[in-house]
């Protein structure tokens, strides 16, 4: 239940960070009609999303913005044009003049243009041609999330060995508790004697829930929009078969982390934001490389796995959410800066458009301030979750002879993450 609540809050935060005032891609052209493509869950592949549709080719083109994909999903955009005609498409992120990727059906060996990308938030697609003739078919497909493995901070603790199992598990537990109590008592005595040293108090940060209401999406629809299961209804048989074959290959082969980084272009510089350097190592009885210790292990292999796997799993989830929050903040901040720069440069053409832009600019700046407040709230909540997971790990470490594990190791890592992910205020 806690995991669902955390994920829901994070997704709500993502929706709120980019409000209607700074909808992506940004434009000041009120005549530009963009069609929303809302990706839908695919029943035949858990975690995958997609949408397909038909449009008319023209030199001006038709404009779409895609919603519903996460920053961890590799996205394939397919374009099919009429026989003998060159259909083109452009992928944009910040505004319609800043083109990130291009593709055309004549450049594709099989006549099906395919662009591969990763994106946080909405991105735009323009489909056009040199003529006004013929229909085109557009397919957007987001494969299930592929999360890059975060580097493990855990290293093997020197001089620790698993205690032999005995039938009297309760007695063993009592001995451990007594030993732990004696050690704690000795530590208290030492702290009292060392008057020139200040003791550290463990402060538990209470998780702060943020109740943010998502901004209503701009209501648009595309009459020919279809679910991928209906793809054969909107395409000529051969092209439909080829597209379905490509989708099947994506499902069967999957997308490795290496392929995601090499083949799928991150649109927007913020998508390739490196992790904070200098992460400290954490000595642990169950180092990550040991069998049964990794957070991805779901079964119970040995005492180490039974004790550590759940706490380690929570620990990794919080790390992913913190990293996602950091990228979301950077992407949104970059987008708002570019939107303001674009508006400042283009609004002076006409006095009326200049006045309209000033009102729009105020909305963008207000949205950025709201986003900064939301970041701080979510950061506080996640840092609290991180501390809870480290304390849960400390309980496991105590069972294997390290009663002061959090104060010696966990607290150091907690302070590092707390400092590195804190918003700079820039």
Is 425 within the bounds of a domain?
no
pLDDT confidence bin for 383, thresholds 50/70/90: very high
The reply to whether 117 falls in a domain is: yes
270: closest CA among 77, 93, 49?
Answer: 93
CB-neighbour burial class of residue 40 (10 A; exposed 0-12, middle 13-18, buried 19+): middle
Over the stretch 61-83, which tens digit does the pLDDT of each residue have? 999 999 999 888 999 999 999 88
Helices marked H in 194-298: 231-234, 237-253, 257-263
Pair (242, 370) in one structural domain: no
Inform me whether the pLDDT recorded for 32 exceeds 70: yes
Q: Residue 358: which pLDDT band, with cuts at 50, 70 and 90?
A: confident
Residue 137 resides in a domain: yes
Radius of gyration of the chain (CA): 27
Report whether 140 contacts 66 (CB < 8 A). yes
Among the three residues 270, 288, 309, which one is the final residue of a domain in this structure?
A: 270
The packing angle between helices 411-420 and 351-398, to 10°, is 180
Together in a domain, 100 and 171: no
The highest-confidence range among 16-25, 41-50, 285-294, 307-316, by mean pLDDT, is: 41-50
In terms of domains, do 131 and 188 share one?
no
DSSP reduced 3-state for 174: helix
Of 25-29, 146-150, 173-177, 334-338, highest mean pLDDT: 334-338
Taking alpha carbons only, the member of 293, 317, 318 closest to residue 307 is: 293
Select from 248, 270, 292 the last residue of a domain: 270
Q: Is residue 426 part of a domain?
A: no
β-sheet bridge partners, residue 66? 37, 123
Would you say residue 283 lies in a domain?
Answer: yes
Residues 306 and 413 in one domain: yes
Measure the CA–CA gap between 326 and 319, rounded to whole angstroms: 11
Q: Which domain holds residue 141?
A: 2-147+212-270
pTM strictly above 0.75: no
Percent of the chain scoring above 70 in pLDDT: 71
Residues 42-53 pLDDT 10s: 888 899 999 998
Same domain, 86 and 235: yes
- Enumerate the β-bridge partners of residue 135: 56
**pLDDT at residue 381 above 60?**
yes
Whether residue 170 is predicted with pLDDT greater than 50 in this model: the reply is no
Check residue 73 and give left, alpha or beta (phi > 0: left; psi -120 to 50: alpha): beta
Domain end call among 270, 288, 319: 270
Tell me, yes or no, whether 13 and 69 share the same domain. yes
- Helix, strand and coil in the chain, % to nearest 5: 45, 15, 40
- Which tens digits make up the pLDDT trace of 118-128? 998 889 999 99
Residue 83, SS3 per DSSP: coil
* pLDDT > 80? residue 174: no
What local confidence, expressed as pLDDT, does residue 31 receive? 79
Angle between helices 302-346 and 351-398 (to 10 degrees): 170
Q: Tell me how many helices (H) and strands (E) the chain has.
A: 9, 13
- Domain membership of residue 8 (yes or no) is yes
Query: Do 100 and 237 sit in the same domain of this protein?
Result: yes
Question: Sign of dihedral through CA atoms 60, 23, 135, 45?
Answer: positive
**Mean pLDDT across the stretch 249-265?**
81
**Is residue 382 over pLDDT 90?**
yes
The residues pairing with 92 across neighbouring beta strands, listed in sequence order, are 99, 124
**In the structure, what pLDDT confidence band is assigned to residue 108 with cuts at 50, 70 and 90?**
very high
Residue 159 lies in a domain: yes
- Kindly report the CATH number assigned to the domain that includes residue 90: 2.60.120.380
Q: Which of 190-194, 290-294, 327-331 has the highest mean pLDDT?
A: 327-331
CB contact at 8 A, 109 and 257: no
Residues 162 and 33 grouped into a single domain: no
Going from the C-alpha of 84 to that of each of 102, 103, 131, the distances in angstroms are 19, 16, 11
Domain total for the chain?
2
205 burial (CB, 10 Å; 0-12 / 13-18 / 19+) is: middle
Q: Identify the pLDDT of residue 302.
A: 52
**pLDDT category, 378, cuts 50, 70, 90?**
very high
Same domain, 263 and 136: yes
pLDDT at 350: 59
Residues 43 and 66 in one domain: yes
Contact status, residue 128 vs residue 92, Cβ threshold 8 Å: no
The predicted structure's pLDDT at residue 315: 92
Are residues 320 and 230 both part of a single domain?
no
Is the Cβ–Cβ distance between 113 and 89 less than 8 Å?
A: yes
Region class of 423: left (phi > 0), else alpha (psi between -120 and 50), else beta: beta
Task: State residue 97's pLDDT score.
Answer: 86
Tell whether the model's pLDDT for residue 171 goes beyond 80. no
Residue 369 included in any domain: yes
Among 14-18, 215-219, 330-334, 348-352, which is the least confidently predicted range? 215-219
Same domain? For 92 and 25 the reply is yes
Q: What is the mean pLDDT of the chain?
A: 75
Q: What's the Cα-to-Cα distance from 181 to each of 17, 175, 186, 391, rounded to whole Å?
A: 48, 10, 9, 17
190-204 pLDDT per residue, tens: 344 444 433 332 222
The yes-or-no verdict on residue 135 having pLDDT over 80 is yes
């Amino acid at each position: 239940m806690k995991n669902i609540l955390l994920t829901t809050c994070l997704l709500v935060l993502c929706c709120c960070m980019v409000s209607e005032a700074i909808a992506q891609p940004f434009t000041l052209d009120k005549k530009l009609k963009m069609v929303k493509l809302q990706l839908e869950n695919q029943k035949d592949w858990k975690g995958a999303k997609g949408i397909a549709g038909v449009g008319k080719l023209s030199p001006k083109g038709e404009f779409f913005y895609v919603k519903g994909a996460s920053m961890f999903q590799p996205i394939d955009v397919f374009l099919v044009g009429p026989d003998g005609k060159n259909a083109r498409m452009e992928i944009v992120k910040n505004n319609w003049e800043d083109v990130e990727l291009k593709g055309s059906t004549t450049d594709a060996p099989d006549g099906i243009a395919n662009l591969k990308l990763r994106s946080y938030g909405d991105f735009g697609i323009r489909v056009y041609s040199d003529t006004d003739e013929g229909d085109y078919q557009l397919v957007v497909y987001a494969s299930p999330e592929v999360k890059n493995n975060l580097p493990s901070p855990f290293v093997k603790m020197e001089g620790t060995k698993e205690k032999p199992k005995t039938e009297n598990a309760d007695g063993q537990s009592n001995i451990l508790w007594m030993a732990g109590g004696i050690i704690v008592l000795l530590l208290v005595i030492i702290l009292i004697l060392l008057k020139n040293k200040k003791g550290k108090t463990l402060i538990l940060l209470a998780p702060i829930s943020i109740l943010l209401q998502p901004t209503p999406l701009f209501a648009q629809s595309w009459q020919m929009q279809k679910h991928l299961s209906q793809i054969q209804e909107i395409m000529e048989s051969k092209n439909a078969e080829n597209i379905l074959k490509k989708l099947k290959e994506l499902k069967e082969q999957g997308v490795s982390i290496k392929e995601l980084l090499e083949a799928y272009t991150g649109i927007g510089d913020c998508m390739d934001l490196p992790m904070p350097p200098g992460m400290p190592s954490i000595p642990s009885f169950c180092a990550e490389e040991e069998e049964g210790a990794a957070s991805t292990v779901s079964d119970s292999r040995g005492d180490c796995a039974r004790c550590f796997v759940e706490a380690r799993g929570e620990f990794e989830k919080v790390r992913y959410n913190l990293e996602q929050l950091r990228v979301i903040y950077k992407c949104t901040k970059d987008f708002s800066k570019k939107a303001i720069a674009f508006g400042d440069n283009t609004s002076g053409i006409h006095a009326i458009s200049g006045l309209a832009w000033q009102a729009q600019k105020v909305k963008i700046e207000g949205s950025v301030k709201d986003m900064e407040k939301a970041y701080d709230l979510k950061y506080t909540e996640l840092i609290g979750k991180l501390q809870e997971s480290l304390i849960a790990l400390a309980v496991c470490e105590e069972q294997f002879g390290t009663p002061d594990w959090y104060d010696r190791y966990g607290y150091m890592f907690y302070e590092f993450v707390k400092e590195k992910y804190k918003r700079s205020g820039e």
